[in-house]
Structure 1
Amino acid sequence: MINPKTPNNLNRRDLLKAGAALTATALPLNNARPAAAAEPTQKLRTAHIGVGGMGGADLNQVATHPRVEVTALCDIDSGILEKASQSHPSAKTYQDYRQLFAELAGEIDAVVVSTPDHTHAPAAMMGLNHDKPVYCQKPLTHEIYEARQLRLVAEQKQLPTQMGIQVSSSAQYRGATQLIQGGIIGKVSDVYVWSHKNWGYDGPAFEGEDAIPESVAWDLWLGTAAERPYKKGVYHRSQWRKLIDFGTGTLGDMGVHICDTPYRALQLTAPLWARTTCRPPTGVGHPEQNKVEYEFPGTAHTTETLKWTWFDGAMSPPDLSKFNLPADLKLHDQAAFFVGEEGTLLLPHVANPRKFVDGKEVPVEMPKLEIKNHYHQWVDACLGEDETISSFSYGGPLTEALLLGVVANRFPGKTLEWNAEKMEVTNLPAANKLIRRNYREGFEVNGL
């Protein structure tokens, strides 16, 4: 049965208690640091925030681990929550994650956050503040500042974390990473990355309002974002990825998957600058088509600096004809392309890489790797028996880099010079207003 409490039942003291850094009395497993392995029979009691769509998939996957006990379910949509509860009838149910932590922090060991992007950081930080390991869907956060703070707190507390880029655990991407770092095409000078998806909106602001469905706690869905009327088919379960207040567009969302392997394999850090080619900003949605250029400092696997270019929507795939590829090569809808000193490498989305030299394809022998389950890897890390491949220490910087491009979308044609240490655009002060947002009263969280 859905917990009948609503946000109005939570007083200010309860909310502050829920968000405080040291409110929970940590059980041995709550700290879940890899150095202290759990007993073989011990269960990991999980709380799941967001259980519809991708959240439902995350819930189902985590629950397949034999040592997971689904203890709490949370979703602002009571219909979605009821459906998830049917598969996990012993789990307590909530519509407000703040209430979940206020009431149940001592009875859960780890947290899975699978909400729209704008709620990732506050929900994940609340989990970290209570010393809970966190699995958080990609992109890690909605703003650069949030990504930095989640990484720092997770590292300070030494908690097992995982950003939900499941493909990072795939044999194809792990194998490609090994090949690139092994020098299969020598040092890399340029990377082209693209997705045909259009998770943008070039239309006008939404007018009017519709009746809020009885199942939807609209105020909770808005969460940290500014208040606005409910519109059917626009926000909840629909276009939120496309809208600047809630999602991060194709670059921030799908870009995490496609950009993961190049960023990881080349061991990149923070970009030096970013520049976008797209339509003028509307204040409503992300661009429907987009080209974003970055320059990264060089690493052991690149030339002195690395040029990185992203394309999405109708701007993808890019024109790569200048690289002397086979005439009959058809580029995939989503892929990464590496330009090296000793050839080029095409890495389709979740597929084996293809190498080209002097206009001909060269066979690639893939490393033989163990199949890994991204979700189970995090559970095992919480139990002290493994390490995660995409912890917040990795996912935070990757998210920061991509979100700098999302910020650049609001200043098309302008080069944003980036000081990563200060989290500051040094040549365009107006851009710095987009690095960190103000949370709506009542949804503030310590650390953010």
Structure 2
Amino acid sequence: MKRRHFIRNTALATLLTQLPASAASSMISGSNKKLRTAHIGVGGMGAEDLDAISSHDMVEVMALCDVDSNALEAAKKLHPNARLFSDYRVLLKEMGNDIDAVIVSTPDHTHAPVSIMAMELGKQVYCQKPLTHHVSEARAMQKIAKEKNLVTQMGIQVHSFYDYKLATLLIQAGIIGKVKTVRAWSPKNWGYDGPEPVGSDPVPENLDWNLWLGTSAKRPYKEGFYHPGNWRKLIDYGCGTLGDMGVHIFDTPYNALELKVPKTIKNNCRKPNGFGFPEKNTVTYVFPGTKHTSKTLKWVWYDGVGAPEAHKDLKLPNGEKLPDQGAMFIGEKGRLLLPHFMKLPKLIVDGAYKELDMSLVPDLGTPIRNYGVEGKKHYHQFVDACLGKDTCTAPFSYASSLTETILLGVIASRFPNKKLHWDDATARFREKEANAFLDGNYRDF
């Protein structure tokens, strides 16, 4: 079933008629009223999201949902008054009047189904990255958030960190002039070049496998391939290294240069195997120019063991090694290196490091080198925005375009070494065969 049919054909229409009018509005009013949250996915990253959101003084955790009873019980110990659910659809039906915001921390393939249902009910949404599994979903989520005037935030925590904000301001202040190229990299390997597993294993007692699969195709459970962690490697559930680390590392250059979506995309990788993402990718994007770039901007992404490939743009002064992960801006007046993460950007001019001219940017205070402190800022910004006290800096209006860009590179892995041409206005590729991967078939479950 296509995504556009999913909302119409689920029980959502029934839910909306069953809920009183007040359930379709999550306006928070009153200086002492707390934000009532429901957390869908509370294991792994979901546990971190729950901890960070609930650390805000004005949050009351009302509901917890997970398909893994072990994760649910662990979260319940921290929030004993919250109601427990294994099916997000039941949570939204039964708790519609009692929640204001939904935190979505599930695997990538369920981001859109959960978030869209919550937003249709008028709930503010914080959704982990990448925003969606398919391009069509990203555009749909942006549209719904805008139509319903909802507070939204994508979970790219480093967006609110000191070093990334500083790099953004420096680039926009012209510290290296107009930028012509960005090179970004991560040596992580969220790909799988092996064969698809055969047979099946018993489903663990703590796992509801049907609910974990959700709208994705039915598949037998195989230990070690899906839950709890390896789903990122697989086409049906994750978005590979590009969708995981790429979102974080793309974010600052993308934001600083005020990019939208690319004109062309090419991925140098192995042939598709229909099951896992390639273990190594070199993705080349060409973007239309902005006021911060040359006429067009070239962007090269490297991932997998050994990334990035050697290039003169990446050569550091004094024979230094590149940081394990990061991005390099190449401009008309020099280069700016942005390590990932919690390290100051470095200015390189004529092959030597130069001191950053901090007079170019407003005072951001002193860098905080404590993830436990710094990491909560992005979450608290969302809570404060829901309470009318702040504005989100990674709303779905921004996150959908960033995610679309990432996903176009993921799709390009289906067509190794072939340049794909993207039309922003129609949201279609010139190459018709690539359009089959913009959407997904949703299973009734």
State the TM bucket, normalised to the shorter chain.
Answer: over 0.9
Conserved? CA contact 2:411–2:434, under 8 Å? yes
Q: Where do 5+ consecutive residues of structure 2 fail to align? A: 1-6, 369-373
Counterpart AA for 2:46:
G
Identity level (%): 53
Counting matched residue pairs gives: 426
The structural deviation recorded for 1:213 is 1.0
Counterpart AA for 2:26:
N
d(CA) in 2 for partners of 1:249, 1:70: 31
Q: How does 1:222-233 map to 2 (within 5 A)?
A: 222-233=213-224
Matched residue, 1:257: 248
d(CA) in 2 for partners of 1:159, 1:23: 22
SS for the counterpart of 2:287 is strand
The structural deviation recorded for 1:101 is 0.8
CA distances 1:231-289 after superposition (whole Å, capped 9, x unpaired): 11110112100000000000011100000000000000110010000000000100101
The structural deviation recorded for 1:338 is 0.6
Which is further off, 323-332 or 300-309? Answer: 323-332
Conserved? CA contact 2:125–2:153, under 8 Å? yes
Matched residue, 1:194: 185
Conserved? CA contact 2:134–2:407, under 8 Å? yes
Query: 429, 436, 439: which is aligned to 1:433?
Result: 436
CA distances 1:277-313 after superposition (whole Å, capped 9, x unpaired): 0000000100101100000000000000000000001
Counterpart AA for 1:418:
W
SS for the counterpart of 2:217 is coil
SS for the counterpart of 1:314 is coil
CA distance 1:324–1:221, shift in 2 (3 Å): closer
CA distance 1:322–1:171, shift in 2 (3 Å): closer
CA distance 1:230–1:398, shift in 2 (3 Å): same
Matched residue, 2:3: none
Which is further off, 224-233 or 365-374? Answer: 365-374
Matched residue, 1:95: 86
SS for the counterpart of 1:386 is coil
CA distance 1:325–1:17, shift in 2 (3 Å): closer
CA distance 1:19–1:183, shift in 2 (3 Å): farther
The structural deviation recorded for 1:333 is 1.1
The structural deviation recorded for 1:320 is 3.0
Matched residue, 1:377: 381
2:351 is the alignment partner of 1:359:
yes
Conserved? CA contact 1:56–1:84, under 8 Å? yes
SS for the counterpart of 2:56 is coil
Matched residue, 1:163: 154
d(CA) in 2 for partners of 1:122, 1:19: 16
Matched residue, 1:287: 278
The structural deviation recorded for 1:325 is 3.8
Matched residue, 1:3: none
The structural deviation recorded for 1:324 is 6.2
Query: 408, 425, 428: which is aligned to 1:424?
Result: 428
The structural deviation recorded for 1:429 is 1.2
d(CA) in 2 for partners of 1:30, 1:233: 41
CA distance 1:124–1:22, shift in 2 (3 Å): farther
Conserved? CA contact 1:18–1:99, under 8 Å? no
CA distance 1:194–1:24, shift in 2 (3 Å): farther
Which is further off, 211-220 or 37-46? Answer: 37-46
2:33 is the alignment partner of 1:42:
yes
SS for the counterpart of 2:93 is helix
d(CA) in 2 for partners of 1:194, 1:412: 19
Matched residue, 1:8: none
Conserved? CA contact 2:302–2:309, under 8 Å? yes
2:209 is the alignment partner of 1:218:
yes
Matched residue, 1:52: 43
Query: 16, 20, 24: which is aligned to 2:11?
Result: 16
SS for the counterpart of 2:230 is helix
d(CA) in 1 for partners of 2:271, 2:421: 20
Matched residue, 2:65: 74
TM-score by length of 1: 0.92
Conserved? CA contact 2:168–2:255, under 8 Å? yes
Matched residue, 1:31: 26
Which is further off, 161-170 or 205-214? Answer: 205-214
d(CA) in 2 for partners of 1:309, 1:68: 41
Cα RMSD over matched residues?
A: 1.9
CA distance 1:152–1:13, shift in 2 (3 Å): closer
Matched residue, 1:333: 324
d(CA) in 1 for partners of 2:133, 2:392: 22
